[in-house]
Structure 1
Amino acid sequence: MTKHYLMVGAGLSGAVIGRMLAEAGHRVTVADARPHVAGNCHTTRDEATGVMVHVYGPHIFHTDDAEVWDYVNRFETFLPYKNRVKTTSQGAVYSLPVNLHTINQFFGQTLRPDEARAFLEGKADTSITDPQTFEEQALRFVGPELYEAFFKGYTLKQWGCSPTELPASILKRLPVRFNYDDNYFFHKFQGMPENGYTAMVERILDHPGISVKLNTTVGRDEAADYDHVFYSGPIDGWFGYELGRLGYRTLDFERFDYQGDYQGCAVMNYGDVGVPYTRITEHKHFAPWENHDGSVLYREFSRECGSEDIPYYPIRLVAEKAMLADYVALAEAESNVTFVGRLGTYRYLDMDVTIREALDCGRRCLATLDTGDRMPAFTVDPL
């Protein structure tokens, strides 16, 4: 029996789930409040310079998931791209993540890998045996000098609070390497879509069983018109924020153009507290196979997300987790909606994980049609 499904949001979650259900013969409506598809990974070609601009900040695709890599390459050609981040700190430029070159340059040394390990261990605060905060984690593993130069100021600006208030888990994602590898990511598959992410999502949605409605806001009241709803908007928004708003950080982008090459790399972080922005991104360097005389750059400023802002990073500290638990209870009482994606589950998700979860969610939905089981509110536990 053909079902009619609604995807609220035309980002990766809605597009991937919608495509799978449409290919299985069902009707799919995809609605998005914005005038474009692809959500925050929306890209567009700048008319003046020809540069492919990542409108909501850069998105770099990296994964170890072969099925996800094959999936995105089905809809767009991904060309090789390695993210090599630099940082300006205390009047000098270093490479990130912290690697053997960073250590030797910063301390004026010529250490071998084993020597560098011992050297940093000597800098570390070994009295910290079970780091609980971001600051404790940094002091334990890299010591005060590298912490002050590369982590403290950037974190203050990015999260708007002291590193003593953030969990150690945030820093565990930032490795220290005792070799000269400056590839920011370590995944097997890394690349950028040749024609941008929006072109890829448009192709995913290009199916006769899918209708796309842009500039369209869909609320909880309209859910009853469909057999099932997949909601990738903010979970608190589905319930009209009746329990309060979950906390996010948002980003402001200050665009500027430059004739030539402004910084020689795609991403330049700024670790000093006195610099108000966290980083500058130069978008033509995200497509190294292209050549452009002009350049488009963004200065990024992080701040608390207001009610009219685009939510980027879920804060997920103690108060937010408590409120999230209450919203999850409300969600699980709903009868025909499944919450998906970064906003629907209030989790920070890389693109590959978003696609993996969407593929799994779509398969779960098709399986329930065979078994007669109810589609759950969550296919991944948001707590």
Structure 2
Amino acid sequence: MKSILCVGAGLSGAVIARTLAESGHAVTVLEARDHVAGNCHTERCPETGVLVHVYGPHIFHTDDTEVWDYVNRYEIFRPYRNRVKTTVGGRVYALPINLHTINQFFGTAMGPDEAFAFIEAQADTSIVAPQTFEEQALRFVGRDLYEAFFRGYTVKQWGCAPSALPASILRRLPVRFSYDDNYFFHRFQGMPTTGYTAMVRRILDHPGIEVHLESRFSRDMAGNFDHVFYSGPLDAWYDFDMGRLGYRTLDFERFTHGGDYQGCAVMNYPEVDVPFTRITEHRHFAPWEDHALSVCYREYSRACAPADIPYYPIRLVEEKKLLGAYVERADTEVGVTFVGRLGTYRYLDMDVTIREALDTARTFRIHDARGTRMPAFAVRPI
């Protein structure tokens, strides 16, 4: 039996803690906040009764059967389809761009093949190998759709011109030549009936796990344990002595409404003259519930300052260079493995986070059985 420390009680720390506790190890979990579940924390609003996604909405979606079965082991997930709307020029459209969006925007009534040919004609076919976000958009949807739905939103979300962002960011946003407006392609999609925090509490409910909330980690604690799984920021492990990795953070302007405010869970506002990126209405994330009042968030994106919660790793050229330097140092560490979104400086969906946590814990068990060294990264950041 080994003594294990998991730094952070989000999905990474909780899943690793549970997996290793079930293998007979003694696990301590340290969490700096006053709750578990990290940024997918949910809580009941005492005024409205609405289950609020405190740090912004989290919709669970995956093609990974084992991960889907895993979360349903600790919570009942109800079917949920993410159908995003966007307001442009005083009109509401469906996202991702689909046949309805195209016909509505251009005032047409095209079928799939006709619409495909039409968008191809709009596209800038002189761009053979798109390198930037802007080039990717212009190549595949053309100037009009790019300007309406992508350019302004991207400037607000990332704080820079779309021409400065890699094309890979836009590859996650599909264009569909059907009337399917389900945002995700995955087989399994749902929301936890009683929320993510309740689910994570159940994951951590094991006699081999000891959880300490409002408890900050310092590196001198590592010597008290056989191994540390660290889900905090990679650069924070080194006290940012080579500089800080860049993130975008979010500010939320919360307000309540007497009734249904916008009729959907997510309404985007891609126009630059609207300061926020979207409004989320949290009653719609649990459509099986009935509430007289509503809780909404206006969401603003900005550069992350030292005291802010880091949300989205920027990962542009300078950030990747600094990341490489930190990874090189981390590779020499013994007794610590860096995990999760912050520990590996990567944007991770919840299902990928859980998959990597399961795999990381299983890798540790193999190394423990063989008496070999557990690496600093079970999944390489770069």
Q: Mark yes or no: TM-score above 0.5.
A: yes
Q: In the aligned structure 1, how far is the partner of 2:206 from the partner of 2:309?
A: 29
3-state SS of the aligned residue for 1:240?
coil
Alignment of 1:232-247 (within 5 A): 232-247=231-246
What amino acid is the match of 2:95?
L
Alignment of 1:1-383 (within 5 A): 2-383=1-382
Deviation at 1:345, TM superposition (A): 0.1
What stretches of structure 1 of length at least 5 have no aligned partner?
none
Partners of 2:255 and 2:69 in 1: CA distance: 36
Q: For each residue in 1:92-128, what CA deviation from the matched residue of structure 2 results, as whole angstroms up to 9, or x when unmatched?
A: 1000000000000000000000000100011111100
Distance (Å, rounded) in 2 between the aligned partners of 1:205 and 1:322 = 36
Seq. identity, %: 71
| Deviation by residue 1:10-45 (Cα, 9 ceiling, x = unmatched) | 000000000011011110000011000000000001
CA distance in 2, matches of 1:64, 1:147: 29
Q: How big is the shift at 1:333?
A: 1.1
Amino acid at match of 1:205: L
CA distance in 1, matches of 2:352, 2:327: 21
Determine helix, strand or coil for the equivalent of 2:248: strand
Residue 371 of structure 1 deviates from its aligned partner by 1.1
CA distance in 2: counterparts of 1:44 and 1:319, whole angstroms: 37
Deviation at 1:63, TM superposition (A): 0.1
Give 1:92's aligned amino acid.
R
How many residue pairs get matched? 382
Structure 1 counterpart SS, 2:239 = coil
Which moved further from structure 2: 213-222 or 192-201?
Answer: 213-222
* TM-score normalised by L of structure 2: 1.00
Q: Structure 2: how far apart are the matches of 1:213 and 1:191?
A: 30
Q: Distance in 2 between matches of 1:46 and 1:379?
A: 38
Q: Distance in 2 between matches of 1:328 and 1:58?
A: 30
CA drift of 1:373 comes to: 1.2
Partner-residue secondary structure (3-state), 2:202: helix
After TM superposition, give the deviation of residue 91 of structure 1 in Å: 1.2
Q: Can you list the C-alpha shifts for 1:186-230, whole angstroms capped at 9, x where unaligned?
A: 100000000000000000000000000010011212111100000
Say what the alpha-carbon RMSD is for the aligned residues.
Answer: 0.4
Cα deviations across residues 317-340 of structure 1 (Å, max 9, x unaligned)? 000000000000111111110000
Q: Deviations over 1:105-158 (max 9, x none)?
A: 000000000000100011111100010100000000000000000000000000
Aligned amino acid, residue 379 of structure 2? V
Deviation at residue 306 of structure 1 after TM alignment? 0.2
Q: Specify the code of the residue in structure 2 equivalent to 1:263.
A: Q
